[in-house]
Amino acid sequence: MRIRALALALATLAGFAQAAPDDPGLEAAVKATYLYKFADYIEWPAGRFSSPADPLTLCVAGSDAITALVDAAAAGRTLQNGRPIAVRHVALAHERDCDILYLAPRREESEQEALREVRGQPVLTVSDGPVVGNLHAVIAFAVVDNRVRFDIDLDAAAQNRLAVSSKLLNLAVRVRPKL
Amino acid sequence: MDPRNAVAAHARRRRTASCAALAAALAATLTPLAAAQSLQLATAQSLQQLGSLSIEELAAIEITSVSKRAEPLASAASAVYVISADDIRRSGVTSLPEALRLAPNLEVARVDSQDYAISARGMNSVNASNKLLVLIDGRSVYTPFFSSVFWDQQQVTLADIERIEVISGPGGTLWGANAVNGVVNIVTKPASATTGGLVDARLGDFTQRADARYGGRLGGVGDYRVYALADREGDTRLADGASADDAWKARQAGFRADLAALAGSVTLQGDVYENLVDTPGGRRSGGNVLGRWTRRLDNGGDVEVQAYYDQQSRSDVAATGGGSSDRVRTLDVEAQHAFAIGATHRIVWGLAYRTWDDEFTNTANPFVLVPQAQTLDLASVFAQDTIALPHRVDLTLGAKYEYNSFSGSALMPSARVGWQADDDNFLWAAISRAVRPPSRLERDLTAPGIVDTSPGFGAEKLVAYEAGYRTQLAPTATLSVSLYYNDYDDLRTTSPAPVTVLPVSFGNGLEGHTYGVDAWASVSVLPWWRIDPGVTLLRKDFHLKPGQSDIAGIQTVLGHDPGHQVFLRSYMDLPHATTLYVGLRHIGGLDDVDVPAYFEADVRLAWRATRNLELSLAGLNLVHRFHAEASAPPIHEIPRSVYAGLRWNF
């Protein structure tokens, strides 16, 4: 009897859960900050950067609370090795020359399409939450214990010829191993 | 005649036996949080500040969320003080109730070796403090026997506490029954923040305590920790100089695991403990398991479902023969959902169900509960909407409806308004209603010819009017001031029988009000020196309602409070990796009882010998060789004490 009442309550909760829009704020700001800080813990294939002054290109595709903040977050920042950061807002299917590509949530097909587009390219893909479908971003933000953390997909990293530092792996909530 | 004395005659010490505790509660009043985030975070919100953090620090930041447990404190329209993990560590407090002394908006009085009386905004005494809601990681710990907390049964590894949120004032709308005068929300660190080993040991003349903890990864799906602690607390002294013979020892172990599972995060935790009282013999034991599932929805909302099972028991041998035992089993299930509608509405709502199954036996004196065993059910639903109005004004409207199988329905609405006048100044005001349902003792206590059951005893009620101001006085100084006027009704009276006086029974014949101020500040005098002053002021005015009478003395219900408390805490970073803490407090004399005002000082000097090893020396209550803090007869005096501490991370 009690169990049934609880089940009903849960079903009601689930039903109501659909209606809420994004609540930007600190969470989005933390994620926007992560986007360029990840670069300190990723090794791109040799020759990707021609000189220390060659900027890291941080691309964002689509629009959400994170893409709205990424320019301000990266403004005036460099990587720990002094490399400058260039932010670009890119359209779908034009994710060329990106070192980091953040995919704002959108329809499943277009996410898969974007990931397929950069597959094998030395691009650190990042998604907000898990991507639905066969292809995964290298890093997917995950909120755990009311903190912004992330999952790392080493298979996706290997496909894009990226090496992920152990420090970043230690911070990850879940690590999907190389297949 | 005061039924309390009838009972006291059977027990050598007031609370040695649970039955004595119940009987003492007979003579007592009845006393009870919600918010979450540190002020530093609110100020660290700008991208500029986030950018200067390391990636580990970024991962540790708690994000603002719309759920009730994560409302940012900087914008909470209530009197909230947060005890940080750093303050707990640097002050060297030795137990959970001692840590609560760090909150300037609480009254904390040590009754004897085992017991504390803790309340907010008055009505404090070991038996009167029954209007405080205390949660440890979401688990409510007050006892349904008489609605207050057995503090000796609430141990937590101090090093694993993330923060303690202390709200003075009602929190009934979000937190429900018993959150009348205040809420204490103890939040431990997630397992991901406690990986590795820790030994935290203190060897002193009054307290000897050792905590050990080890945490690690769980195969890529999460983190865990396990801990164990052992504690021994020494004897206090009676007024005539004799030892109170109330030393006791505790053992406890437990675990916590935080997992990414079920499309969200899952927390599982549990504790098991046993306390032994040497003289004349007593045992407290218990355990609990709790599971919580939270999920951030795609649309930014949060869902949380939590369930726990808790069992606790106490048994005592009375010095005069016989004994008593009580046990409570609690099953609690709750769910909440928080979401936003546009940029204007942040809504949180939820459902909760709790069942208490208890039993009380007593052969030490004639006081028993009828029925001996009872099941109480508590069910509630709440909803709250925070509405963003122009000019940075937030209006929060909410209500909780609660059904209690003892006393029926209660509605706890509240209206709160907060105005962020500019970046540095925040003003708030609130009107709220809170209720304390009857405890088992108040309904069912009976002793032939002395006390009759009181089936008509109903809930005690409060309507609170509050206003407050928080400001950043300077880049290095903050100030918070809260004013309140609490209007109480239907407080408990001990009513005599017509003509014969005995047996007495309980009625709701008392009404009146309290008013006062809670204020505190934090000033970074120098980059290496912070000072936190605090003050509380309290006035009480109560009277019997027309046609009501009381023979126990209304102070038994109203507690014994200091008219003022003044705190000054100093935190210094000194050369050679040393830190010095000095905590001073002046507590006013208690009203209507012979416990005079006292001034006490705690000092702790700590040296970080290596990155992983800290050595410390501390002195507690250094001013007097003995001092009394609480009123429970007979008055126990707390000794000066010192300890040497070691804290080793590996």
Per-residue model confidence as pLDDT tens digits over B173-204:
888 788 999 999 999 988 888 888 999 999 99
Integer angstrom CA distances of residue A146 from A43, B269, B334: 29, 17, 18
Q: Inform me whether the C-beta atom of residue A92 falls under 8 Å from chain B C-beta atoms.
A: no
Cβ within 8 Å of A, B 149-208: 190, 192
Whole-number Å distance between alpha carbons of B284 and B418: 44
The answer, yes or no, to whether residue A143 has pLDDT greater than 90, is: no
Residue B415 is encoded by which pair of tokens?
């209206």
> Which region, left, alpha or beta, applies to residue B613 given φ > 0 means left and ψ of -120 to 50 means alpha?
beta
> Is there a contact between B299 and A20 if contact means CB atoms under 8 Å apart?
yes
Handedness of CA A89, A91, A95, A96 (dihedral sign): negative
Integer angstrom CA distances of residue B191 from B240, B256, B356, B506: 48, 6, 29, 47
Identify the CA nearest to B85 among candidates B24, B164, B194.
Answer: B164
> Is there a contact between B59 and A171 if contact means CB atoms under 8 Å apart?
yes
Q: What is the pLDDT of residue B621?
A: 97
Q: What is the pLDDT of residue A107?
A: 66
The answer, yes or no, to whether residue B93 has pLDDT greater than 80, is: yes
Integer angstrom CA distances of residue B273 from A45, B102, B251, B521: 55, 26, 6, 38
Q: Inform me whether the C-beta atom of residue A178 falls under 8 Å from chain B C-beta atoms.
A: no
DSSP secondary structure of B175-193: H-TT-SSEEEEEEEPPGGG
Least confident of A19-28, B35-44, B224-233: B35-44
Q: Inform me whether the C-beta atom of residue B370 falls under 8 Å from chain A C-beta atoms.
A: no
Considering only the beta carbons, identify the residue of B55, B335, B342 that sits closest to A9. Answer: B335
Q: Mean pLDDT for chain B?
A: 86
H or E element, residue B200? strand B196-204
> Is there a contact between A41 and B55 if contact means CB atoms under 8 Å apart?
yes
A131 CB neighbours in chain B (<8 A) are: none
Secondary structure string (H, E, C) spanning chain A: CHHHHHHHHHHHHHHHHHHCCCCCCHHHHHHHHHHHHHHHHEECCCCCCCCCCCCEEEEEECCCHHHHHHHHHHCCCECCCCCEEEEEEECCCCCCCCCEEEECCCCHHHHHHHHHHHCCCCCEEEEECCCCCCCCCCEEEEEECCEEEEEEEHHHHHHCCCEECHHHHHHCCCEECCC
Whole-number Å distance between alpha carbons of B25 and B63: 42
DSSP secondary structure of B31-80: ------B-HHHHHTTSHHHHHTS-HHHHHHPBPP-SSGGG-BGGG-SSEE
Pairing, β B182-188 against β B132-136: parallel
Whole-number Å distance between alpha carbons of A92 and A90: 7
Q: What percent of chain B has pLDDT over 70?
A: 91
Cβ within 8 Å of B, A 22-41: 22-23, 25-27, 29-30, 32-34, 37-38, 40-41
Least confident of B152-156, B530-534, B553-557: B553-557
The answer, yes or no, to whether residue B381 has pLDDT greater than 80, is: yes
The answer, yes or no, to whether residue A136 has pLDDT greater than 50, is: yes
Which residues, in sequence order, are CB contacts of B345 under 8 Å at separation 6+?
Answer: B385, B386, B387, B388
Mean pLDDT of all residues in B308-325: 89
Q: What is the pLDDT of residues B421-461, one digit of tens each?
A: 887 889 999 999 999 999 998 899 898 888 889 999 999 99
- Nearest CA of chain A to the CA of B594: how many Å? 48
Integer angstrom CA distances of residue B493 from B21, B448, B452, B457: 18, 19, 13, 10
Global pTM reads 0.75
Examine residue B475 and say whether the peptide bond preceding it is cis (omega within 30 degrees of 0).
no
Identify the top-confidence range among A103-112, B12-21, B482-491, B545-554: B482-491
> Is there a contact between B53 and A33 if contact means CB atoms under 8 Å apart?
yes
Mean pLDDT of all residues in B336-347: 86
Identify the residue with better confidence: B336 or A133: B336
Q: What is the pLDDT of residues A72-85, one digit of tens each?
A: 888 888 998 889 99
Whole-number Å distance between alpha carbons of B601 and B569: 10
Angle between helices A65-74 and A26-37 (to 10 degrees): 60
A30 CB neighbours in chain B (<8 A) are: 50, 58, 61, 63
Pairing, β A100-103 against β A56-61: parallel
Long-range contacts of A79-82 (CB under 8 A, 24+ apart): A79/A36, A79/A39, A79/A40, A80/A40, A81/A40, A81/A52, A82/A52
Question: Which residue in B40, B64, B349 has the most chain A C-beta atoms within 10 A of its own C-beta, making it the best mutation to test that interface?
Answer: B64
- Nearest CA of chain B to the CA of A98: how many Å? 21
Q: Tell me the pLDDT band of B346, cut-offs 50, 70 and 90.
A: confident
Cβ atoms of residues B265 and B241 within 8 Å: no
Dihedral angle over CA of B623, B626, B630, B635, nearest 10: -160
Cβ within 8 Å of A, B 375-434: none
CA atoms within 13 A on the CB side of B48: 1
Q: What is the pLDDT of residue A93?
A: 57
Whole-number Å distance between alpha carbons of B135 and B141: 6
Q: What is the pLDDT of residue B48?
A: 72
Q: Let me know how many helices (H) and strands (E) chain B has, helices first.
A: 10, 34
> Rounded to the nearest 5 degrees, what angle is found at the Cα of B200, between the Cα atoms of B199 and B206?
140
Residue B295 is encoded by which pair of tokens?
């999920």
Q: Which residues of A79-94 are buried (b: 16+ CB within 10 A; e: fewer)?
A: eeeebebebbebeeee
Q: Inform me whether the C-beta atom of residue B43 falls under 8 Å from chain A C-beta atoms.
A: no
Considering only the beta carbons, identify the residue of B192, B267, B340 that sits closest to A23. Answer: B340
- Nearest CA of chain B to the CA of A1: how many Å? 13
The answer, yes or no, to whether residue B44 has pLDDT greater than 60, is: no
Question: Which residue in B296, B306, B347 has the most chain A C-beta atoms within 10 A of its own C-beta, making it the best mutation to test that interface?
Answer: B296
The answer, yes or no, to whether residue A56 has pLDDT greater than 50, is: yes
Least confident of A6-20, B45-59, B273-287, B527-541: A6-20
Q: What is the pLDDT of residue B38?
A: 29
ipTM of the prediction = 0.81
